[in-house]
């Protein structure tokens, strides 16, 4: 797997080629969740690439997968740094112009910050279970994840996806449970997200309520929402067919005219 040196760190990434590429389609860049990585997406990026006819790029942020580990605690603005410093440099390095950003959870938040705050062109956003503020439900579930990490086989399962599992888990878990993080909020960026947005969330999401995507719909100018029954925090794993279909339909109607 190739690596790119970005913002002083070595980041793993992979390019996914569609079975049948369609000319002039924007590339889709996947942004993973708080415990995600290139490998945790499994075959889903290939499904999206094939269905949309678009090339896809997937990367692991610092601290995840086989990218460099973090060496200090994450700051409250770690998603801002990813969206406004790391992601622009990565896009330039990989020569990706005006991408569609496909983000899950933290990745969805990063996509929103980038689109609303970087001043760089994007074609559109597809965000799955994004966060725009911290809810009691989020903190409670993340506290439960800490207990599971310390008392069950969760650490061993995560270690299959991360070269440094402590860096991956503690970097995410510690900052979300820090008292200062309760004030984290990115709603200021939403009115500046002027491109089409598809926001998807499961009705059984254990890390956030529907207020998250409802706030996006109220404050960003051009938003479609999809609320999935029998679906928790990872729509692309719980309802993959529905997410693929919604993505292809959204791209065809709003971006591929």
| pLDDT of the residue at 257 | 60
The answer to whether residue 124 scores a pLDDT higher than 70 is: yes
- The β-bridge partners of 102 are 30, 126
Please write the tens of the pLDDT for every residue from 127-163.
999 999 999 999 999 999 999 999 999 999 999 999 9
Of 43-47, 69-73, 105-109, 192-196, where does mean pLDDT reach its minimum? 69-73
| pLDDT of the residue at 71 | 87
| Angstrom distances, CA of residue 177 to CA of 73, 107, 189 | 12, 18, 23
Number of other residues whose CB lies within 10 A of the CB of residue 140: 12
Let me know the angle formed at the C-alpha of 72 by 95 and 118, rounded to the nearest 5 degrees: 35
Question: Residue 29, CB half-sphere, CA atoms under 13 Å: how many?
Answer: 29
What is the spatial distance between Cα 158 and Cα 149, in angstroms, rounded to a whole number? 9
The answer to whether residue 12 scores a pLDDT higher than 80 is: yes
| pLDDT of the residue at 56 | 98
The answer to whether residue 1 scores a pLDDT higher than 80 is: no
What is the spatial distance between Cα 256 and Cα 239, in angstroms, rounded to a whole number? 24
| pLDDT of the residue at 119 | 96
**How many independent structural domains does the chain possess?**
1
Query: In which domain, by residue range, is 75 found?
Result: 3-254
| pLDDT of the residue at 100 | 98
71 exposed, middle or buried (CB, 10 Å; 0-12, 13-18, 19+)? Answer: exposed
Of 8-17, 29-38, 219-228, 247-256, where does mean pLDDT reach its minimum? 247-256
| pTM confidence score | 0.97
Number of other residues whose CB lies within 10 A of the CB of residue 180: 9
The answer to whether residue 34 scores a pLDDT higher than 90 is: yes
| pLDDT of the residue at 126 | 98
What is the spatial distance between Cα 9 and Cα 68, in angstroms, rounded to a whole number? 6
Write the CATH number for 102.
3.40.50.1820
| E-only strand ranges, the chain | 3-6, 9-16, 28-31, 56-59, 100-104, 124-128, 197-202, 223-228
Long-range contacts of 141-149 (CB under 8 A, 24+ apart): 141/206, 141/207, 142/173, 142/176, 142/177, 142/207, 143/177, 145/173, 146/173, 146/177, 149/173
Q: Taking all residues of the chain, what is their mean pLDDT, rounded to a whole number?
A: 97
Residue 217 CA to chain centroid, in angstroms? 18
What is the spatial distance between Cα 4 and Cα 248, in angstroms, rounded to a whole number? 29
Please write the tens of the pLDDT for every residue from 199-251.
999 999 999 999 999 999 999 999 999 999 999 999 999 999 999 999 999 99
């Amino acid at each position: 797997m190739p690596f790119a040196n970005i913002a002083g760190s070595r980041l793993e990434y992979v390019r996914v080629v569609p079975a049948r590429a369609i000319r002039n389609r924007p590339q889709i860049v996947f942004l993973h969740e708080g415990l995600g990585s290139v490998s945790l997406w499994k075959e889903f990026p290939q499904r999206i690439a094939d269905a949309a006819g678009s090339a896809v790029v997937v990367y692991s942020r610092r601290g995840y997968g086989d990218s460099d580990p973090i060496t200090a605690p994450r700051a409250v603005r770690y998603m801002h740094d990813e969206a406004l410093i790391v992601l622009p440099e990565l896009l330039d390095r990989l020569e990706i112009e005006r991408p569609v950003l496909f983000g899950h959870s933290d990745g969805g938040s990063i996509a929103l910050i980038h689109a609303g705050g970087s001043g760089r062109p994007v074609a559109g956003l597809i965000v799955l279970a994004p966060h725009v503020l911290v809810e009691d439900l989020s903190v409670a579930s993340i506290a439960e994840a800490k207990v599971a990490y310390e008392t069950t086989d969760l650490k061993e399962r995560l270690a299959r996806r991360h070269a440094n599992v402590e860096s991956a888990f503690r970097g995410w878990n510690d900052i979300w449970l820090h008292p200062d993080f309760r004030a984290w909020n990115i709603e200021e960026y939403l009115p500046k997200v002027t491109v089409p947005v598809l926001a998807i969330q499961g009705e059984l999401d254990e890390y956030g309520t529907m207020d998250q995507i409802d706030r996006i719909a109220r404050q960003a100018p051009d938003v479609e929402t999809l609320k999935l029954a029998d679906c928790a925090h990872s729509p692309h794993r719980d309802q993959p067919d529905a997410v693929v279909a919604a993505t292809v339909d959204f791209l065809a109607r709003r971006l591929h005219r």
